[in-house]
Amino acid sequence: MSNGLTKWLNWLVNNNTMGKKDKNTEEKIIQAAEKEFIEKGMAGARMQQIANNAGINKALLHYYYRSKEKLFGIIFKIAFKTFIPNLLGVFEGEEDFYTKLRKFIRNYLSVIEKNPHIPSFVLHEISHNPENLAALIKEIGIDVDFIHNQIIEEIEKGNMKPIEPYHLLINVISLCVFPIAAKPMISSIIFKGNQADYKNMLEERKDHVADFIINSIKPYQI
């Protein structure tokens, strides 16, 4: 932030021009930022455009959120904390494991399709700030041990081919996330920029990925 903008912000705060942070304004900023990040990604998003979409000036935006990185981190945390517990909750039901797995894949693809900034942010954090991502996961309290135990139980019952649970979980996540994270490449190369075809593909994958995974782990029928 420039020295001029910093002095301007300090003057506003010291003279109570802005007053206390308004919850309604914060909500407008969050909504505007989410829209900007989804459309342009972390690198392409601009604080000025976020301010414009929120109906405020850039100085006020910087008063609430000092940097684009900090704002992006908050957007990510809100989305991450919202959908992860709900997604994992699918495996706490009474249905058979394959039904729960199919439901998880469908829900997971739907969520990341609506929050395409999340895969990009995760990949960025893995490369640049892995400790931050690890701290966030710990803060949220994500624990997949109970899913690991269900997989082992299914294998012991003969309902599933022997497979390391972590391989199964990684396979599911990878097959769901890649088409979202690689949208620019897939959309332009495979679908020649046709967004409707790309969207249809994502909808088809909700069943395709489930079928692919389940067929790969079901025991052979003799």
Angle between helices 130-140 and 117-128 (to 10 degrees): 120
Q: Which ranges in the chain are annotated with CATH 1.10.357.10? A: 74-217
Q: Which residue has the tokens 């058979």?
A: 96
Sorting pLDDT into bands at 50, 70 and 90, what band is 73?
A: confident
pTM of the model: 0.71
Q: What confidence score (pLDDT) does residue 48 get?
A: 95
Q: How far apart are CA 61 and CA 51, in angstroms?
A: 6
Chain centre to alpha carbon of residue 154:
29
Q: What confidence score (pLDDT) does residue 13 get?
A: 45
Pull the structure tokens for residue 113. 């399709």
Q: What confidence score (pLDDT) does residue 221 get?
A: 57
Q: Which ranges in the chain are annotated with CATH 1.10.10.60? A: 3-66
Record: fold of 3-66: Arc Repressor Mutant, subunit A (1.10.10)
The angle subtended at Cα 108 by Cα 174 and Cα 124, nearest 5°, is: 50
At 57 the three-state DSSP class reads coil
Tens digits of residue pLDDT in 143-193:
889 999 999 999 999 999 999 999 999 999 999 989 988 888 999 999 999
CB 43 within 8 A of CB 37: no
Q: Where are the beta strands (DSSP E) in 62-207?
A: none
What sign for the dihedral angle of Cα 87, 88, 89, 95?
positive
CB 45 within 8 A of CB 51: no
Tens digits of residue pLDDT in 122-146:
777 677 777 777 777 777 777 889 9
Within the chain, how many helices (H) and strands (E) appear? 12, 0
Pull the structure tokens for residue 192. 């020649």
Record: fold of 74-217: Tetracycline Repressor; domain 2 (1.10.357)
